[in-house]
Amino acid sequence: MIWNEHFECMSREQMTLLQNERLCQMVERVYYNVPFYRKKMQELGMEPGDITGLEDLPKLPFTTKQDLRDNYPFGLFATPMEDVVRIHASSGTTGKPTVVGYTRRDIAMWSEVVARSLSAAGIGKKDRIQIAYGYGLFTGGLGVHYGAERIGATVIPISGGNTAKQIQLLQDFESTAIALTPSYALYLAEAMEEMGVKPESLKLKVGIFGAEPWTENMRKEIESKLGIKAIDIYGLSEIIGPGVSIECMEQNGLHIFEDHFIPETIYRDTLLPSEQGEEGELVFTTVTKEALPILRYRTRDLTTLQYDVCDCGRTTVRMKKCTGRSDDMLIIRGVNIFPSQIESVLLELSETKPHYLLIVDRKNNLDTLEVWVEVDDMFFSDEIKQLEALTNKIVNALQSTLGIGVKVRLVEPKTIERSEGKAKRVIDKRKI
Amino acid sequence: MIIKQLTIFIENKSGRLAEVTKVLGENNINISALSVADTSEYGLIRLIVSDGEKAVKLLKKSEFSVNLTDVICLSVAHKPGALHDAIEILSEANVGIEYMYAYALGNKAAVIMKVSDPKEAIYVLTEKDIELLKADDVYK
C-alpha cells in the first residue's frame, strides 16, 4: 500500500527538480534566519545564490551533534518560539540533551512521513497499532502516534515497558500491529512463551522496529517467535524522528522520503561524497522543515544508497540496513550513549578516576551496561558499606545522566588497560 | 592501644589472595590475624601484620588497593558472657561497632574491633577493667 504515490513514485527527473527547488529555498531560509549557518556559509565565502541545485550540495557546510549542543537549547531554530508547537530531546553529554523543535507544519510533515512508513509496512485504517515506544521527550512514541492517527488506524498508546500489560492488550484489544525496539520485541516474545501465550492466538501480523541497530538474525528470530513480519524503520530526532526511511514489504533496503530529507553518503576520511553504490557515512539535509532546518547532518551511521526502482513500485532511493557507526556512540536499549558521557560523570565525582571500561551485553534480549571502575586510594575504604555507598553514588550519577539502568563493578587498580593513544573503553558483546 | 589494621581490596578471582600472602611471606612479614569480608564481586581482606607500614608499601608496589585503619583488640576470658560484658560497655557508651573478628585460644579470647570512636572505646573499656592488647603484643 502506497500512501502518497505522487511523492513516493515520481521519476528521478521530477524528484531532482523538486529537490533542487526545495534545497535552494531552504538554503536561503537558513542563511537569513539562522546566524549559525550564515556565519558558516560566510566563512566558506558562500551566498545563498551560489547554491543552484543538488550538484552544489557538497559545497554546503556540515552540521554535527556537537553543533546542536553548542547551540543548546534553541540556538539553531529558524522560527520564532511562538511558532514552535513541540519540543523533543535526546540524552546528551553531562545531562545536556540535544533539543529539536517542530512547527505545526513540521508536525504535519512528520505525521505524513510516518503515515507513508506505516502504509509501506502494510498497516492501514483497519489496523490496531500498539505503540510500545516510550512517550515523552523521546521522539519514538509521539512520532509514530501522530502518523498512525493520520492513516486512521486505532492507536493504543501504551508506551514502553509493562510487559504483562502489553501482552494482555495484545490479547484483549486484538492489536494487529506493534511498534517497539527490536530488543524489547524479543523480550516480549520470551515473556509470552513463559506465560503460555501462543503467537497464533493473537491477531498480530506486523511490527515496526527501530531506535537501535539490529541484525538479519534478530529479524528472523522476531518473525518466527512472534509470527509476524518485522519491518525496519529508521529515523533520528535531529532530522525529524522515526519516519526518515522505512522498509517496504520487499524488505530490501529502507525507502528514504527524499522529498523532505535529501541523503548523501560521504567517505569517513575525506568527507567527500562516496561513489554511487559504495558505503559511506549517511548525511541528511532537511528541505522542508521550518523550526529546525538542518544542512548536511552527519548521522555517523554507515550505509549504502541504492537508486534502482524497488519491486514495490516506489522510486525513492533506498538505504541498506545500517551496518555500523563512524563514531563511538553506543545505542543501548534505544538510548544514545557516548563513552565520553561516562567519563565526564566519573571526572565530576571526586572519588573516581576516569579509568573505566564499559561492558555492553544483551541478556535475555535486553541490553545491559556494566561500568567497571577502578578502586584507588581516594575511593578505598575498609568498610563494605562505604564501598557500597560509593558504588550507589556512581550508579545514581550515571543513571541520571544516561537515562538508563547501569551496573557498576569495582575492580582492582591498574586492571583497566592504559594506552597512550585511543584506549579501549568499550567491549560490546552483542555482536550487532 | 590503637592497632593498625591492613585492608586490601581484591576481586573475586582465583589467585589474588595467594599473591597477597606471597608478598607478605617473601618479605618476612608475619600475619597475626586475618579476616575476609566478601561480596559477590569483591572481598576485603583485613589483616594485622608485624609491620603494617612496610606491608602497605610492598602491596601498593604490587598494585593492590590497600589502607591502614585504626582498630582495637580486646582480650577477654574464654567463658560464657565475657564478650557480652565488653560489648555492653561499648553499647552503653554509644560506641558503634563497624565490624569485628575474634578467635579463642586456651583460656583467653582475642577480639579485634573497628569502632566508631576508638579513643572513647579504650577509655570506657579500661575503666571497666577489660584488658586491651597493646600494639606490640599483637604485631608478632
Instruction: Give A131's contacts (C-beta < 8 A, 6+ positions apart).
Output: A141, A144, A145, A148, A155, A156, A157, A158, A159, A178, A179
Are A316 and A352 found together in one domain? no
* C-alpha–C-alpha distance, residues A231 and A103, integer Å: 29
Beta-carbon contacts of A199 under 8 Å, excluding residues fewer than 6 positions away, are: A189, A192, A225, A226, A227, A228
CB contact (8 A) between residue B41 and residue A409: yes
Question: Does B80 lie in the same domain as B41?
Answer: no
Claim to verify: residue A273 and residue A403 sit in the same structural domain: no
Query: Which of B21, B42, B70 is the C-terminal boundary of a domain?
Result: B70
ipTM over 0.85: no
Query: Do B50 and B91 belong together in one domain?
Result: no
**Residue A430: per-residue pLDDT:** 83
Q: Among the three residues A283, A304, A327, which one is the final residue of a domain in this structure? A: A327
Rounded average pLDDT over A4-9: 96
Residue A50, C-beta contacts closer than 8 angstroms, at least 6 positions apart:
A56, A59
| pLDDT at A421 exceeding the cut of 60 | no
Q: What is the pLDDT of residue A35?
A: 97
DSSP conformational letter for A303: E
pLDDT tier at A221, thresholds 50, 70, 90 = confident
Contact B11 A412 (CB under 8 A): yes
- The Cα A22–Cα A34 span in angstroms is 17
Is there a single domain that holds both residue A317 and residue A279? yes
User: How many domains does the structure of chain B reveal?
Assistant: 2
pLDDT value of residue A413: 81
Splitting chain B (140 residues) into consecutive groups of 10 residues, what average pLDDT does each group show? 92 88 94 90 92 93 90 94 94 94 90 94 93 84
Starting from the edge strand earliest in sequence, which strands make up the sheet with A261-266, in order?
A: A261-266, A280-286, A297-303, A324-325
Residue A339 has pLDDT above 50, yes or no: yes
What is the dihedral sign for C-alpha B133, B134, B139, B140? negative
What are the angstrom distances between the C-alpha of B26 and each of B23, B29, B33, B60, B63? Answer: 5, 8, 18, 15, 16
pLDDT, tens digit (0-9, with 9 covering 90-100), for A48-91? 999 999 999 999 999 999 899 899 999 999 999 999 999 999 86
| A398 and A299 share one domain | no
Please classify residue A363 by burial: count the beta carbons closer than 10 Å to its beta carbon, then call 0-12 exposed, 13-18 middle and 19+ buried: exposed
Q: Do B46 and A384 touch (CB under 8 A)?
A: no
Indicate whether A422 pLDDT > 70: no
User: Could you tell me which chain B residue has the CA closest to the CA of A374?
Assistant: B65
> Could you tell me if A156 and A173 are in contact, meaning their C-beta atoms sit under 8 angstroms apart?
yes
Banded pLDDT at A286 (limits 50, 70, 90): very high
Residue A169, H or E segment? helix A163-172
A146-160, A289-303, B29-43: least confidently modelled range: B29-43
Q: Do B7 and A409 touch (CB under 8 A)?
A: no
Task: Please tell me whether residues B76 and B60 are part of one structural domain.
Answer: no
Q: Is A102 a residue whose pLDDT tops 70?
A: yes
Closest residue in A to B99 (Cα) is: A383
Dihedral, A119, A125, A127, A131 alpha carbons, nearest 10: 70
Looking at the complex, report in whole angstroms how far the Cα of residue A383 sits from the nearest Cα belonging to chain B: 8
Q: Across all residues in chain A, what is the average pLDDT?
A: 91
pLDDT number for residue A378: 67
CATH number, domain of B105, equals 3.30.2130.10
Do B111 and B84 touch, CB atoms closer than 8 A?
Answer: no
Nearest CA in chain A to B65: A376
Total structural domains within chain A: 2
Q: Is A424 helix (H, G, I), strand (E, B) or coil?
A: coil
Q: What is the DSSP string of B30-81?
A: PEEEEEEEE-SSEEEEEEEES-HHHHHHHHHHTT-EEEEEEEEEEEEESSTT
E strand or H helix that includes residue B87: helix B82-92
Please indicate, yes or no, whether residues A296 and A243 belong to a single structural domain of this protein. Answer: yes
* B16 and B61 both lie in a single domain: yes
- B62 and B109 both lie in a single domain: no
Per the structure, the complete domain to which residue B61 belongs is given by: 3-70
Spatial distance between the Cα atoms of A142 and A130, rounded to a whole number of angstroms: 12
pTM, 2 dp: 0.71
- pLDDT for position A293: 98
Is residue A400 domain-shared with residue A294, that is, in the same domain?
no
Would residue B139 count as lying in a domain?
A: no
Supply the CATH number for residue A346's domain: 3.30.300.30
Residues A251 and A394 in one domain: no
A149 and A296 housed in the same domain: yes
**CA A10 centroid distance within chain:** 27
Judge if B39 and B14 occupy the same domain. Answer: yes
B25, B54, B70 — which closes off a domain?
Answer: B70
Maximal CA-CA distance, chain B: 46
pLDDT at A418: 65
Residues 6 or more apart from A153 whose CB is under 8 A from it? A118, A123, A124, A125, A126, A127, A128, A129, A177
> What pLDDT does residue A91 have?
63
Q: Which residue has the higher pLDDT, A309 or A421?
A: A309
Out of A233-237, A333-337, A366-370, least confident range: A333-337
pLDDT band at A323 (very low <50, low <70, confident <90, very high): low
Residues from chain B contacting residue A413 (CB–CB below 8 Å): 63-65
CA distances from B1 to A23, B13, B112 (A): 83, 35, 12
- Structural contact between residues B47 and B6, judged by C-beta atoms closer than 8 angstroms: yes
- CATH code, A214: 3.40.50.12780
**DSSP class of residue B110?**
E
In terms of domains, do A260 and A188 share one?
Answer: yes
Backbone angles phi, psi at A340, to 5 degrees: -65, -25
Q: What angle do CA A129, A130, A135 make, to 5 degrees?
A: 120
Q: Which residues contact A170 (CB under 8 A, 6 or more apart)?
A: A130, A178, A197, A202, A204
Give the gap in angstroms from C-alpha B74 to the nearest C-alpha of chain A.
20
> Which of B17, B51, B70 is the endpoint of a domain?
B70
Q: Are residues B53 and B85 in the same domain?
A: no
B85 with B53, same domain: the answer is no
Spatial CB neighbours of B72, under 8 Å, sequence gap ≥ 6: B1, B2, B3, B112, B113, B115, B118, B121, B122, B125, B132
Q: Please indicate, yes or no, whether residues B62 and B9 belong to a single structural domain of this protein.
A: yes
Q: Measured between alpha carbons, how far is B116 from A58 in angstroms, rounded to an integer?
A: 69
pLDDT one-digit tens code per residue, A268-277: 889 999 999 9
Asked if the model's pLDDT at residue A348 lies above 90, the reply is no
B54 and B43 in one domain? yes
pLDDT for residue A344: 79
Reported as a pLDDT band with limits 50, 70 and 90, residue A93 is very low
The domain containing residue A318 runs over which residues? 5-327
Tell me how close the Cα of A184 comes to any Cα of chain B, in angstroms. Answer: 28
Can you tell me which residue has the cell 539553531?
Answer: A76
- State CA A20 to chain mean position distance: 27
Reported confidence tier of residue A94, pLDDT bands at 50, 70, 90? very low
A241 lies in the same domain as A377: no
Asked if residue A187 has pLDDT above 90, the reply is no
Q: Which range among A10-14, A269-273, A411-415, B83-87 shows the weakest confidence by mean pLDDT?
A: A411-415
B120 Cα to chain A: minimum distance (Å): 20
Gyration radius of chain B over CA positions: 16
Averaged pLDDT, A279-300: 96
